[in-house]
Amino acid sequence: MKYPQFTEAHDMFRKTVRQFTEKELLPHVEKWEHDKIFPAKEIFKKAGDLGILGAHYPEDVGGGGGDYWFSVCKAEEYPRCRMGGPPMALLVQSDMATPVINDLGTKEQKEEFLTPAIKGEKIASLGVSEPGAGSDVAGISTVAKKDGDDYLISGSKTYITNGAQADFVTLLTKTDPGAGAHGCTFFLVPTKLKGFEVSKKLIKAGNHSSDTAMLFFDNVRVPKRYRLGEEGMGFMYLMQNFQTERLIACVGSTAGMQLAIEDSIGYGKDRMAFGKPIIKREYWQHKFVDLLCKVEACRALTYQAVAEYNREKYVEKTELSMDTVKLISMCKVFVGDTSNEVFDQCVQFHGGAGYLEEYPISRAWRDARLLRIGGGTTETMRYYIAKLLGL
């Protein structure tokens, strides 16, 4: 289906991402999933050389100068690699750990961190979640204390994508532990600094090939020039940044659902049971019609949210309105719940084969489960939407 949001330039970019995905990612599925890691430095550099990571960033920081619909193209093509790990890692690099640098960073910070990340020369991670603070971001306890012209950072972070291979962490800390949400501050922390340690590499139920780690900071001395934005404003910055993370995850998940249904229908044409292909069973025909209707609803809702996000961030260049935040939060709830249903039904349609690692639907099913947890749990999203509705 052709959507009016996408120009010829978007279509050319989409073709580039598809070729990259099918050439550089898809052939390595089995090895990377088995090894539970992929060579991020190599892959990110290839993506950076093709202009994939920075297509929606300004030209003055090394980007392509495009709008947010370029990022949508990218997120819709990544699922063609039939694994969730590398797409998630790539999206953390381009749409989660770096947007806040573009929004708040000084010229020097952008030159040292953002531009190399866009080029794929430095790997970025976003350090927010902690062992005792997940969706309750204001409850973080990693502390940054002033020490002359520097800050000393101590604490730990967990569930950090790209954490074990990162060159720097876009890190949320507490500079005023008694101020709650108003005491949070962002820093850009190079992982080569003394006192930084990857304390544990985490083994997950899904997204096996992505690098997820627990990070430890022991009096890491960070110069003031690495503070990102104003002290005490980190929580507010994060709430804006979270919208990018949630929105791009919904875009990618919707595309993944479409692929899963297409793959399943293809499987059903060849799989015989009781004398005919199982896709010829009326029950499953009706089931897939229902699922496709829901996927189109996910796409429509997500595209509406992207349109508002793109208008405010790229055209008007303002902060996101509460109406847009509410819309993105609704996407997170609806797409998350729908993805659970779609992937579960596709596994069921495959029967025993759907429970085997060798079938892409098995990976898609377990990888997709993260959407209802990462970037704010579905329960937290519903609570937040209720607040925005004045309930």
Q: Mean pLDDT over residues 315-331, rounded?
A: 96
Q: Does the structure show a pLDDT above 80 at 134?
A: no
Triad 178, 179, 184: Cα angle to 5°: 110
DSSP letter for 231, please: T
Cα–Cα distance, 315 to 312 (Å, whole number): 6
Q: Which DSSP category does 7 fall into?
A: -
180: phi > 0 → left, psi -120 to 50 → alpha, else beta; which? Answer: left
Do the beta carbons of residue 128 and residue 238 sit within 8 Å?
A: yes
**CA distances for 240 relative to 127, 220, 222, 264, 273, angstroms:** 15, 27, 24, 37, 51
Residue 26, token pair as written in the block: 């898809």
pLDDT of residue 96: 96
Q: Map residue 236 onto helix, strand or coil.
A: helix
Q: Mean pLDDT across the stretch 82-106?
A: 96
**What residues act catalytically?**
245
Q: How far apart are CA 173 and CA 259, in angstroms?
A: 39
For 189, phi and psi rounded to 5 degrees? -115, 110
Cα gap 242→135, rounded to integer Å: 11
Contact 186, 144 (CB under 8 A): no
Q: What is the pLDDT of residue 117?
A: 98
- Interval 174-196: pLDDT, tens: 999 999 889 999 999 999 999 99
Find tokens 């720097």 and name the residue. 168
Please report where in the chains the tokens 């009326």 appear, as a residue: 282
* pLDDT surpassing 90 at residue 137: no
Chain-centre distance for alpha carbon 278: 35
Take residue 208 and report the two structure tokens written for it: 């096996």
Instruction: End-to-end CA distance of the chain: give it in Å, rounded.
Output: 38
Instruction: Kindly list the structural domains of the chain, giving each domain's residue range(s) and its CATH number in brackets, ordered by start.
Output: 8-122 (1.10.540.10), 125-228 (2.40.110.10), 234-388 (1.20.140.10)
Q: Distances in Å between the alpha carbon of 364 and those of 252, 260, 368?
A: 12, 8, 6
Euclidean distance between CA atoms 162 and 213, whole angstroms: 7
Contact predicate 78/90, CB 8 Å? yes
User: Which residue(s) pair with 275 in the sheet?
Assistant: none
The pLDDT tens digits for 192-227 are 999 999 999 999 999 999 999 999 999 999 999 999
Q: Model confidence over 305-314: pLDDT tens digits?
A: 999 999 999 9
For residue 9, give Cα distances in angstroms to 12, 21, 69, 249: 5, 18, 10, 23
pLDDT surpassing 80 at residue 370: yes
Q: Quick count: other Cβ atoms within 10 Å of Cβ 8? A: 7
